[in-house]
């Protein structure tokens, strides 16, 4: 039997997080392109 089950749980949690980070680094999620919308200042549309 394990004397310190809390340490075992922490070690398992750290291992799962490390594997998750490695998987995310190896297969990053795809980025969906979105159009860039810029706000034009009103000075461009004023009469001179």
φ/ψ (deg, to 5) at 39: -90, 125
- Between CA 44 and CA 46 the distance in angstroms is 6
Domain definitions of the chain by residue range? 1-28
pLDDT recorded at residue 42: 73
pTM above 0.95, yes or no: no
pLDDT recorded at residue 19: 96
- What are 16-48's pLDDT values in tens digits? 999 999 999 999 889 899 998 888 777 766 666
Residue the block writes with tokens 């200042």: 41
- Between CA 8 and CA 2 the distance in angstroms is 8
What is the DSSP secondary-structure string of 10-44? HHHHHHHHHHHHHHHHHSPPPPPP-----PPPGGG
């Amino acid at each position: 039997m394990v004397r310190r089950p809390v340490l075992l749980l922490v070690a398992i949690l750290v291992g799962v997080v490390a594997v998750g980070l490695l998987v995310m680094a190896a297969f990053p999620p795809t980025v969906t392109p979105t159009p860039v919308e810029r706000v034009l200042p009103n000075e461009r549309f004023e009469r001179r």
